[in-house]
Structure 1
Amino acid sequence: MTSTSRISGGPGRHETPEERADRRWNELLQELRVAQTGVQILFGFLLAVVFQPRFTELSDTDRTIYVVTVMLGSATVAALVAPVSYHRLLTGRRLKPQTVTWASRLTVLGLVLLLCTMCSALLLILRVALHNSLALWLVGCMALWFLVCWFVFPAWALARPSPEREK
């Protein structure tokens, strides 16, 4: 491989588009392993709730919250498992950079859906546990915390001047 076919843009990595796609794909797989495990455990617990004896005692509002939570959990699983399907169906078609881009977008969508699923599950649990409006405030605080940890901190890190990016 000649040096002219390599990407150069400063002191960082010097990799071809294919090497970059391979690296990004491997990084994405590691991230998905963490997210998928937690989502699948949460979803499994959600599916089991309906079979508990006390489920019949839930109010109509709490049952609605439960159904919304299960649907959000299903959508989350779909979005976070979709990159595997993308990769499997597109392997060997010389579309790795595009596959990585779409898989990354689906992963971000999956994280947004996971945030919604977590908040919905928390709302249901706290409504049943507390029987008062404090549940909504606690969920709001937790939603804000998720947003800060998952989206605000990374955005802040991107916005901060970095010696490596200034070169």
Structure 2
Amino acid sequence: MSEAELSDQRRLARNLNELLQELRVAQAGVQILFGFLLSIAFTERYASADSYVRVTHMITVLFAAGSVSLLTAPAAWHRILFRRGRREDIIEVANRFAVVGMGCLALAMTGTILLLAEVVIGGWPAIVLGALAAVLFGTLWFLLPWRERCQDTVDAEDLD
């Protein structure tokens, strides 16, 4: 293996390790959220919840489940394709999964805030809090990073 190929393999290994570390951070939070959301359905108060709360809860659970599946998929891809020379493919797919998984997590967090606000204060104030949560997650997790990315003048390949 040439020095250039070895350097490229080291860069890919570093990129994959960084991505998997980032996913570990997100996975812990989403798994706790998922467990919390599952436990709600088994409370006495949930039995008397109206259809709006039940549908919102189900949609929120589905987004949390989607997030769990997307954020854990890169580990499965890595394990199944381990030592097959597919590291670059794994990184590309894992990056897409991570971004979409974070989107699902943002929606699950927004739904959770909406549900809690509905139970605590109800009505339009709850919807406003849910909307504010969506704006906060959307801005911090997607809008600001994408804006920064679009402003980059450095070629990403030079920095990896």
TM over 0.5: yes
Q: 1:63 and 1:156 mapped to 2: Cα distance?
A: 36
Aligned to 1:106: 97
1:129 aligns with 2:124: no
The letter of the residue matching 1:141 is L
Unaligned runs of 5+ in 1: 7-14
Distance 1:111 1:52, change over 3 A: same
Give a deviation string over 1:37-73, Cα, whole Å, max 9, x none: 0000000111111111111121011111111111111
Aligned to 2:32: 41
Whose helix fraction is larger, Structure 1's or Structure 2's? Answer: 2
1:91 positional shift = 0.5
Superposition pairs for residues 1-167 of structure 1, below 5 Å? 2-3=2-3, 5=4, 16-160=7-151, 165=154
1:17 positional shift = 2.6
- Give the alignment's Cα RMSD to 1 decimal: 1.9
1:2 positional shift = 4.6
Give the alignment's TM-score, normalised by structure 2.
0.89
Unaligned runs of 5+ in 2: 156-160
Give the alignment's TM-score, normalised by structure 1.
0.86
Runs of 4+ displaced beyond 6 Å: none
Structure 1 stretch displaced more, 98-107 or 150-159: 150-159
